[in-house]
Amino acid sequence: MVTDTVVGVRREGSVAVVELSRGKVNAIDVELMEELGTTLDRLEHDPDVGALVLTGAGRVFSAGVDLRRVVDSDPGYVERLVAGLRDGLEALFCFPKPTVAAVNGAAVAGGCILACACDRRLMADNARIGASELAVGVPFPVAALEIVRHACGSRTEDVVYSARLFDAQEAMTVGMVHEVHTADAVLERAVAVAAEFAARAPLAYRLAKQQLRGPVLERIRSDAAAGADKTAIGEWAAPHTARNLRQQLERLTAAR
Q: Which residues participate in catalysis according to the annotation?
A: 133
Q: What is the DSSP letter of 182?
A: -
Distance (Å, rounded) from C-alpha 60 to C-alpha 18?
A: 14
Distance (Å, rounded) from C-alpha 194 to C-alpha 99?
A: 7
**3-class SS letters over 105-165:** CEEECHHHHHHHCCCEEEEECCCEEECCHHHHCCCCCHHHHHHHHHHHHHHHHHHHHHCCC
Distance (Å, rounded) from C-alpha 16 to C-alpha 49?
A: 6
